[in-house]
Structure 1
Amino acid sequence: MSGFATTARMCGVGVALSCLMGSGAVAADLPTKAPPIPYAGVDDFWTRPYLFGDLGRTRLKEQGISLALTLGDEAVTNLSGGSRNTSANAGQLWFEAKFDMAKLAGIQGGLIGVTLVDRFGKNLNSEAGIPALQLTNEVFGRGNILRLTEFYYQQKLFDDRLVLKGGRLPVGSDFFFGQCEFINLTFCGGQPGNIQGGYIYNWPVSQWAGVVHYNFTKEWKLSVGVYDANPNYLTTSDAGVYLAPGIPRSTPASGVLVPVEVVWEPSGPLNGTWRFGGWYDSASTIDGGLPGIIAVVNGGPGVGDQNLSSTRGRYGFYESILQRLTVDGPKAQGWYTFFNTSVADHRTAYQDYQISWGVKHTGTFSFRPEDEVGFAVGTTHVNSAALTPNAGGNEVPIEAWYGWQATGWMNLKFDAQYVINPGGRGFNGAGLKTSNAVVLGIRSVVHF
């Protein structure tokens, strides 16, 4: 384990202990709340936005350099479901740096971004024997290693109408649903990557890519991307660190992944982001040679070797709606809702669709204006053609949480999940029926 990972694990244990002492409960992908506001005012330990104080970052930001170091940790335990009741903890420590090239080099509209992510911990589904399709602690995955998640140059042109971006990028940074407020993976990050993780690589995995955004108006945007498709980006064997080589060595690229997305962003007090898009992956895959029969599917069970043939290309479609419903206070408290649907190519997808809906409210109590509550329900469907006892079934997670803004630099979410029919119909790898899963957890986010 790298030194960076060791630091992350120590921080994660400390945060988990602080959570336990405060509540008695058992405790991204991406940040669950907006980054802290620029450091200002009296340096009060409990209200300042960073645990270690400003450390000169405000002055650096004025000069064009923005730095951030954040820990996200998810500690969960299952009260039912699976083969045994146990707990698991997983998290990630990520460092972000952005360089404003207008301030640093006089290049108007230029930006360089770098993000490093170091993950640690264990997967509750594996530890407890829960045969769920989606992770019950979403932050786990893609190896307990240090990854180069972003390294890109971005250039805005023509009064910011055209935005060009290239380098090492995770597809979810520019496409799909970007929120990650919940612990169950069904409600977190890019849905297409949740059900097609074998070739759509969500954070923290990145690929060499180029992206074009064109803003027709203030509210309408078209985005197109081209991503190098190579399974070696998923490697976890490089001595705990996967920063280089930037181009995987042992296996040539299998093709390209091309997402296309139209975005409508209504402005005003009730703002929102409505995404409509699709993707195409040009790689060859194996199917069963018959409509609806699949053989190779994201690590899931297949049809064996009958009538196998090669199919060129995989595709899918999605919509993602994130909409504010009310504005209830001076700090934009109120309700917002999201609704996501992703449908994948039934010839090659083991999980061929996923739907999720949820709501969140900020400032639920007047005396806690930054605290939040959230609720979501969703479903993931197993392809009816898969040769598995779970074929045609739907996994249905329900999740609710209370978010406590404990300090200016630490946010805690007290969470409960109920997963109905884990795996689609509740069968594990041995073909035995398992009970629905009840999972309790604490998610903590600390800005250093």
Structure 2
Amino acid sequence: MLHRSVKTARVWGAGIALSSLLTGGAYAADPLTKAPPVPYAETDDFWTRPYLFGDLGRTKLKEQGIDLGLTLGNESVGNLSGGSRNTAANAGQLWFGAKLDMGKLAGIQGGTVGLTLVQRFGDNLNTEAGIPALQLTNEVFGRGNIFRLTQLYYSQKLFNDQLELKGGRLPVGSDFFFGLCEFINLTFCGGQPGNIQGGYIYNWPVSQWAGVVHYNFAKDFQLSVGVYDANPNYLTTSSPSIYFLPGVPGSNPATGVLVPVELVWAPKSPLNGTWRLGGWYDSASTIDGGLPGVVQVIPGVGGVPTQFLGDQRGRWGVYESILQRLTVDGPGALGWYTFLNTTVADHRTSFQDYQIALGFKHTGTFYWRPEDEVGFAVGTTHVNSAAFGPNAGGNEVPIEVWYGWQATGWMNLKFDAQYVINPGGRGFNAAGVKTDNAWVLGMRTEVHF
């Protein structure tokens, strides 16, 4: 363990040493959360260009309908107190993305083909440090250190973009829920329903065969409905037939379907925002571990009674998600932003039955650093009161703050601190031993190649 901590510390030191050599403000570029990097300038300046290796012809390809990107996201975190060990961990992901504009390439106006491949790596700080938290303190860890097919889809917009039909391999969070991920604690990152119901709602980088319809029925309003193949084998890390190669929908076997429905209001600038109200239904009736189940007896083969767990009424949940700009402090994105997410899951089947997160971000922290940002968030995850064990009915409360430094046009660094109150709900580990609140320091590095 000491060897791993020293190795991780060296990684931190190398990253900080590199960052201290870099200067100049440039375009902020968090993955999947902001607009793509600015168009490549004719003057190729190493410090301000949007890609580490330069344009490499990608601007010309984009003009022809082929948009390519390669990005590395890395999170180095260390436990200062809480848990059972003071140690550090590092985790990250490298992902390749491609979008093909079928209007430019094949004359099919409104058509798009999308592909995303993700390779994850690293360790889970909660496990390494013995922190019994409900939510990851380095959110990028998870779903196996493997090469995954995260997106492979075709999208077609019709009737002047009023209707969009989309199908293929999709993560449910790509079209539903709250998609921003600007914090390191999982409570504030990605699709919230998947944070507390990860056993059957699969966030990035896991994908499922799915079909989605987006309908813009009025100005600034959209209604979305999706149908996703519910199959736990998408989580496998031992065979590429499902997690990478396009498997057969409904095979191995499927447990049913997941159906999310969402209403979106998206007010426009200057105070633009995205207000989501939705819910989901999953046709399976599996009950999370740690909860009392409903045992029913049905006639079996030869008249022998058969018992099974579950009441065959499916499982469901509701959510709201608000992302809203509060002020316009200058040109472009300068100003204050806020988000508020609330998810309530079916208490009959859910060990974690609700989660709430509130956060704020300011872009342009200093006038001489217009692309730098600062963020703050507080949230809670609740353990079902009907659960077994000492954490029943408890709340885990993370608080997180970070400073985002746009070191170059192609690299963004976030210096981060977390304080997790009652990790696990009431702060008891698996052995029923009370643990302290956790202080976690970290740094997120993001590089666009």
Q: Runs ≥4 in structure 1, deviation > 3 angstroms? A: 13-16, 20-23, 28-34, 239-242, 302-309
Contact persistence 1:233–1:248 (CA under 8 A):
no
Deviations 1:193-240 (A, max 9, x none): 000000000000000000000001230000000000000000001279
Is 2:437 the partner of 1:436? yes
Is 2:16 the partner of 1:19? yes
1:301 offset after TM fit, Å?
Answer: 2.5
Aligned to 1:301: 290
Between the aligned partners of 1:371 and 1:383, the Cα distance in structure 2 is: 39
- 1:241/1:119 Cα in 2 relative to 1: closer, same or farther (>3 Å)? farther
1:38 offset after TM fit, Å?
Answer: 1.7
1:406-425 to 2 correspondences below 5 Å: 406-425=407-426
Aligned to 2:278: 277
**Alignment RMSD, CA only?**
2.1
- 1:240/1:230 Cα in 2 relative to 1: closer, same or farther (>3 Å)? closer
Aligned to 2:326: 325
Deviations 1:147-181 (A, max 9, x none): 00000000000010000000000000000001000
Aligned to 2:24: none
1:330 offset after TM fit, Å?
Answer: 1.4
Where structure 2 has 5 or more consecutive residues not aligned to the other structure, the ranges are 1-9, 21-28, 297-307
1:167-316 to 2 correspondences below 5 Å: 167-238=168-239, 242-247=243-248, 251-285=252-286, 296-297=287-288, 300-303=289-292, 309-312=309-312, 313-316=314-317
Aligned to 1:166: 167
1:150-165 to 2 correspondences below 5 Å: 150-165=151-166
Aligned pair count reads 421
1:66 offset after TM fit, Å?
Answer: 0.1
Partner secondary structure for residue 365 of structure 1: coil
Deviations 1:39-84 (A, max 9, x none): 1231000000000000000000000000000000000001011110
1:283 offset after TM fit, Å?
Answer: 1.0
Report the TM-score, using the length of structure 2 for normalisation.
Answer: 0.90
Between the aligned partners of 2:173 and 2:160, the Cα distance in structure 1 is: 25
Aligned to 1:112: 113
Aligned to 1:379: 380
Amino acid at match of 1:350: F
Aligned to 2:71: 70
Partner secondary structure for residue 153 of structure 1: strand
1:343 offset after TM fit, Å?
Answer: 0.2
Amino acid at match of 1:400: V
1:410 offset after TM fit, Å?
Answer: 0.2
Amino acid at match of 1:365: F
- 1:273/1:32 Cα in 2 relative to 1: closer, same or farther (>3 Å)? closer
Report the TM-score, using the length of structure 1 for normalisation.
Answer: 0.90
1:24-39 to 2 correspondences below 5 Å: 30-39=31-40
Aligned to 1:135: 136
Q: Percent identity?
A: 78
Partner secondary structure for residue 311 of structure 1: coil
Aligned to 1:88: 89
- 1:250/1:111 Cα in 2 relative to 1: closer, same or farther (>3 Å)? closer
Partner secondary structure for residue 69 of structure 2: strand
Deviations 1:124-153 (A, max 9, x none): 000001000000000000000000000000
Where structure 1 has 5 or more consecutive residues not aligned to the other structure, the ranges are 1-12, 286-295
- 1:309/1:387 Cα in 2 relative to 1: closer, same or farther (>3 Å)? same
Aligned to 1:364: 365
Partner secondary structure for residue 58 of structure 1: helix
Aligned to 1:9: none
1:246 offset after TM fit, Å?
Answer: 1.9
1:302 offset after TM fit, Å?
Answer: 3.3
